[in-house]
Amino acid sequence: MHHKYKLGIILAISAGIIYGIASIVFKYDINLADYESLISNTGLWISAIIFIISGMAIFTRLESSYVIKILFIVSLIYLGLFMMVKVSFFAMILLIGAFLLAFLALFYIDASIAWPLTGCKYAVCSLIAYFFLNEVLTTVGILGITFIMIGTILLAIGGEMTKE
Amino acid sequence: MLVVVISAILMGIFPIFFKRWNEVNVEEKYGTLKNCTKIIYKEIAVIWSKPLHNAEIKYLSKDFLSEAFNLKNYSRLFDLIDRYLIAGILTGFLGYIIWIFSLRFGEVSILFSITSLQFIATWITGYLYLKERLTPLQVMGIVSIILGVALIAPQV
């Protein structure tokens, strides 16, 4: 039997087995461990300390140490997971998505243009609250949204003019 | 108040570090982000797909494991994590944390308005550090956004 074919068969059967187990786990709500307790407050403090120390260590002679970099990334992931589990999963997903988009924007435009453009979050926040959560929008609020929109348009137009 | 100003400055300068990281690590070495991703992906894929192409190498063999878990084989990936990226993550993170904590000790309407300082911080550091030059229209745009945020933020 061909090597790739064999591996494919093994992976497919493994997937079938794991799907089956998952169905049972869902049906009977089986938990091998209390996952929420794995993401604990103590862990938060430990990871925060590791995050800061390993971050600082990059600015020393340990700059090229892979272990320090791994520690930094792991602590960052833990902090993200903590926020997901303890605060809001959906909000964290959206936050990470927004951060990645802003990060990608920096590859294409200047930082001094990209970052002020993210200021439209305040306008979006007010508009969502007004339309979907029945919150009140004052005249000052409307004026603020108008200013942000004008600013966004000016920034975009200014960039286009530079290109031309 | 001073703490909030510091947090706004931290939040404002972290995009500058990311931009610098992009210039030094991605644009200079790989040209584009797409190229960078492609090259690193290929390098890692070669290691992990070796057993698929060579029947003599097994996934759980000692040779494969020692190669797959040799951190030196991921040097390109680790080189991307440099002081600019770390500085960006640290300043951004600390800026947000300090700001959240400062909310406990001050008037929300004032503290929120001060956050618009971050855009001025980005503008100044971008001008000085990255030599970014803006057109008069863009300057007007940034001023308008800062005004808008200062007006609207206390109500959010």
Query: Which residue would you say has higher pLDDT here, B107 or B69?
Result: B69
Residues B63 and A4: their CA atoms lie apart, in Å, by: 19
Q: Are residues A38 and A82 in the same domain?
A: yes
Query: Shortest CA distance to B11 belongs to which of B122, B101, B113, B114?
Result: B122
What values do phi and psi take at A65, rounded to 5?
Answer: -75, 125
- What pLDDT was estimated at residue B146? 85
3-state helix, strand, coil in chain B (%, to 5): 80, 0, 20
Per-residue confidence at B117, pLDDT binned at 50, 70, 90?
A: confident
Asked if residue A103 belongs to a domain, the reply is no
Q: What is the DSSP code (8-state) at residue B153?
A: G
Asked if residue A102 belongs to a domain, the reply is no
Number of separate domains in chain A? 3
Angle between helices A41-57 and A66-82 (to 10 degrees): 150
Residue A140 has its nearest CB partner, among B119, B126, B151, at B151
CB A76 within 8 A of CB A53: no
B132 and A126 within 8 Å at the Cβ level: the answer is no
Asked if residue A111 belongs to a domain, the reply is no
Q: Are residues A9 and A36 in the same domain?
A: no
Which range has the worst mean pLDDT, A31-45, A113-127, B12-26, B27-41? A31-45
| List of chain A residues with pLDDT < 70 | 1-8, 11, 20, 23-39, 159-164
Asked if residue A97 belongs to a domain, the reply is no
Q: Are residues A25 and A36 in the same domain?
A: no
CA A121 to chain centroid, in Å, comes to 16
Tokens 């990311």 correspond to what residue?
A: B18
Q: Are residues A37 and A25 in the same domain?
A: no
Cβ–Cβ contact A123 with B under 8 A: yes
Rounded to a whole number of angstroms, the distance from the CA of A25 to the nearest CA of chain B is 29
B151 and A143 within 8 Å at the Cβ level: the answer is yes
Residues B136 and A41: their CA atoms lie apart, in Å, by: 49
- What pLDDT was estimated at residue B39? 92
Q: What is the DSSP code (8-state) at residue A31?
A: -
Number of separate domains in chain B? 1
How deeply is A135 buried, as exposed, middle or buried, from its count of CB atoms within 10 A (0-12, 13-18, 19+)? Answer: middle
- Residue A126: domain span: 119-164
Asked if residue A133 belongs to a domain, the reply is yes
Cβ–Cβ contact B100 with A under 8 A: no
Q: Are residues A24 and A46 in the same domain?
A: no
Q: Are residues A38 and A15 in the same domain?
A: no
User: Under 8 Å CB-to-CB from B108, ≥6 apart: which residues?
Assistant: B154
- Residue B13: domain span: 2-155
B86 and A58 within 8 Å at the Cβ level: the answer is yes
- What pLDDT was estimated at residue B38? 92
Residues B147 and B126: their CA atoms lie apart, in Å, by: 20
Asked if residue A136 belongs to a domain, the reply is yes
Query: Which residue would you say has higher pLDDT here, B2 or A67?
Result: A67
What is the CB neighbour count within 10 angstroms for residue B24?
A: 14
Q: Are residues A6 and A37 in the same domain?
A: no
The interface pTM score, or ipTM, of the predicted complex is: 0.79
Cβ–Cβ contact B12 with A under 8 A: yes
CB A19 within 8 A of CB A26: no
Query: Which residue would you say has higher pLDDT here, B1 or A148?
Result: A148
